[in-house]
Structure 1
Amino acid sequence: MTVFTCGQLSDVAHNLGGNLHFQREMPGELPVLDGEQQVQILGDGLVLYFSQSRDLVDASSQNRLAPGITAAFLLSGEAEVSLPHQRLHFDARPGGQRAMLVNLTDADQFQRHWQCERQETKVCLSITPGWLQHFAFASQLCSDNLLRFSRNHWQNLPWQPSAEILQRAHQLLARDAGLPPLLQRLQRESFALDLASDILRGIDAPPEKRLGNHLERCLLRLRGWLDSGEANDLSITEMARQLGTNPVDLQNAFRSRNGITIAAYLRRRRLEQAYHAICQQSLSIEEAASLAGYEHLSSFSAAFKRQYGFPPSQARQ
């Protein structure tokens, strides 16, 4: 990790086309950020950005966001930003809002709120108007939803990255250090294209099928149970009974809303808890396995590797 002073961070932002400045005056030599930032500009108009950082000050700053579609999501930690007429808090923990998806027709300012010692690991992809013009509009592949989205300034959608995208992002950050530069670039280019596809699918997704009010309330309560751990010892039949519905309707509605079954969501959430416990709380692999609900270490290691692409022993590296 590298410690950036206020002046150095402003220079980095300027080199990337931004215009970073803090709302209160700070000395140029004041350390403000401890972290690492990696930017890959692809020739066809996609810009992929990875950052791992820790705030060293309490402050607010403004920066310029380029025109086009920008998607950003957290792999860990928290972040807080302000868009015009909207303040957003992002949290990578299960149940939190970890992502945003916005479109700008012109360059504009956004605000970031800093909190000393707050950490975040973030992935961001910018899709330039030129990329859209060449690959979507000119080839007549642009849907009505995408066309409407791209024509509105500060258009904002409640997008969340797919489980596959989250898994690959974790893998890229874990493996990059040991890869030759060319292979690293090729893997990131492939990831950027797949992420762009995931983003465009999110824009084109049809409105969610409306469920009955009772089932909507059941899903809301169920997500709270799953994320808090209250449902860890309940079967789906028991969940449905306590919610006042039947297991088939509950399972079908949950899959429709989240793209996976209740059991798969619960396994993923437990593994996310184990991952953060290993990285941030220094739990042993055995303790993390128990936290995730696994009796056998081999089963936990296999499930962890399927989700993140590397064994739990490498999670701290």
Structure 2
Amino acid sequence: MSSANDLLSASKAGSDPIATRRALRKNGMRLLDDGDQNDAVVAYGLTGRVRMDGIHATFGRRVQIDDLETEIALDAQVCINIFLEGFVETSVNGVPMPIPQRTAQGRWQSSAMIMSCESGARLRRRARKGQYLDKMVIGLSRDWLRRWANKADAPDAFRALLEGGPGFWPWQPNRKVEFLARQMFDIAARKPPFAALLLESHTLAIVCEALGATFGDSSDAAMPPAALTATEQQRLYMLVQYIERHSAQTLSVADMAGTLGTSQATLQRLVRKAHRCSLNAFVRNRRLENARQALLFGNSSISEIAFNAGYAHLSNFTAAFHKRFGYPPSAVRKQAAGPAA
């Protein structure tokens, strides 16, 4: 996996990157904005790296970027891209990468995508002065992934990732992923004892969450990209973003279809094709999963979490939650609190 896959390169984990135009070009990037190929710093911020057998992760917090437009050819690989907050326009072979959005409450709603690239795929980024990103990129070799192909619990949909063709799987990071990623920023900054071990374990946990959310056997699992057109993939991503931006509101099929520029019937068919459930079930399941993660990793009350999930009455939320997961919200909150002293 090429180290130039990431826009920024740091000399060592936890250091502030000194990314210059000259260094970026030396690492294989093509600069598209006709800027001088000099040693002027174009980016800085906290960064870190994790290297294991078959896995390479880079992550950065508050990575400030100057005016810059770049393009680079990617190796054949699988990447998990997580964007926690901020904005930099990014695309791969013309397909836009998901970007974080702000909710009505002003909170950043993270986004992510699993990407399978053929050798030579073109990654393009366009940044403007003052923009920044909190992000993580985890590269996975197919040989490492194939170790799990024959395991009894490996979903059939997972095998599509191993065939090597190009594809894009958008997914929504849950609260656990956000929690682990932000802890990695803190670990890179503080360098506590066994920091490398902590970073490795967090990386593996995030990989597990990403693969499970994307290729699991539940009704939330997405179809392989081969089963969906590029337009369908982009429309599903827009649908997820719309649901997250209106988390506490009653959503109508007409409004969702209108926002996505399609008919209600087409949207219903698309969700059933991709997720094997109705549109209403898909919206409800996403909100309940977000609520479960908020119970585990957040500090909000159960009533507030219920409201943010679109439930005006706590009793209705509790009933829906129990039906979905088999246990009440209070049980999750007790689990998050840990055993009593």
- Deviation at residue 118 of structure 1 after TM alignment: 0.2
State how far apart, in whole Å, the 2-side matches of 1:264 and 1:169 are: 14
Structure 1 counterpart SS, 2:204 = helix
Aligned partner of 2:195: which letter?
Q
Q: TM-score, normalised by structure 1?
A: 0.62
String of CA shifts for 1:24-58, please: whole Å, max 9, x gaps.
Answer: 3332223321234322211x20111112311111x
Q: TM-score, normalised by structure 2?
A: 0.58
2:155 aligned with 1:163: no
Structure 2 counterpart SS, 1:158 = strand
- Deviation at residue 187 of structure 1 after TM alignment: 0.5
- Deviation at residue 122 of structure 1 after TM alignment: 0.7
Matched with 1:41 is 51
Matched with 2:162 is 150
Aligned to 2:195, which of 166, 170, 184?
184
Structure 2 counterpart SS, 1:48 = strand
2:272 aligned with 1:260: no
Q: Alpha carbons of 1:141 and 1:68: their partners in 2 closer, same or farther (altered >3 Å)?
A: farther
User: Does the CA contact (< 8 Å) of 1:49 and 1:123 recur in 2?
Assistant: yes
Matched with 1:7 is 22
Matched with 2:309 is none
User: Does the CA contact (< 8 Å) of 1:105 and 1:150 recur in 2?
Assistant: no
User: Does the CA contact (< 8 Å) of 1:69 and 1:150 recur in 2?
Assistant: no
User: Does the CA contact (< 8 Å) of 1:208 and 1:257 recur in 2?
Assistant: no
String of CA shifts for 1:103-137, please: whole Å, max 9, x gaps.
Answer: 1243522111111110111111111112113x223
Unmatched runs of 5 consecutive residues or more in structure 2? 1-15, 221-239, 252-279, 302-332
Structure 2 counterpart SS, 1:61 = strand
Matched with 1:202 is 213
Aligned partner of 1:126: which letter?
G
Query: Superposed, which structure 2 residues align to 1:123-138 within 5 Å?
Result: 123-133=136-146, 135-137=147-149
User: Does the CA contact (< 8 Å) of 1:55 and 1:115 recur in 2?
Assistant: yes
State how far apart, in whole Å, the 1-side matches of 2:130 and 2:241 are: 32
Query: Superposed, which structure 2 residues align to 1:260-279 within 5 Å?
Result: 260=289
State how far apart, in whole Å, the 2-side matches of 1:158 and 1:41 are: 24
User: Does the CA contact (< 8 Å) of 1:103 and 1:154 recur in 2?
Assistant: yes
Q: Alpha carbons of 1:222 and 1:63: their partners in 2 closer, same or farther (altered >3 Å)?
A: closer
- Deviation at residue 176 of structure 1 after TM alignment: 3.2
Matched with 2:255 is none
- Deviation at residue 97 of structure 1 after TM alignment: 5.8
- Deviation at residue 4 of structure 1 after TM alignment: 2.3
Structure 1 counterpart SS, 2:172 = coil
Aligned to 1:82, which of 75, 91, 110?
91
User: Does the CA contact (< 8 Å) of 1:75 and 1:92 recur in 2?
Assistant: no
Q: Give the total of aligned pairs.
A: 240
CA RMSD after TM alignment: 4.1
Matched with 1:71 is 80
Which region of structure 1 is more displaced relative to structure 2, 124-133 or 261-270? 261-270
Matched with 2:235 is none
String of CA shifts for 1:232-291, please: whole Å, max 9, x gaps.
Answer: xxxxxxx69xxxxxxxxxx987551234376986996989xxxxxxxxxxxxxxxxxxxx
Q: Alpha carbons of 1:74 and 1:140: their partners in 2 closer, same or farther (altered >3 Å)?
A: same
2:37 aligned with 1:27: yes
Aligned partner of 2:207: which letter?
A
Which region of structure 1 is more displaced relative to structure 2, 28-37 or 153-162? 28-37
User: Does the CA contact (< 8 Å) of 2:55 and 2:139 recur in 1?
Assistant: yes
User: Does the CA contact (< 8 Å) of 1:106 and 1:153 recur in 2?
Assistant: no
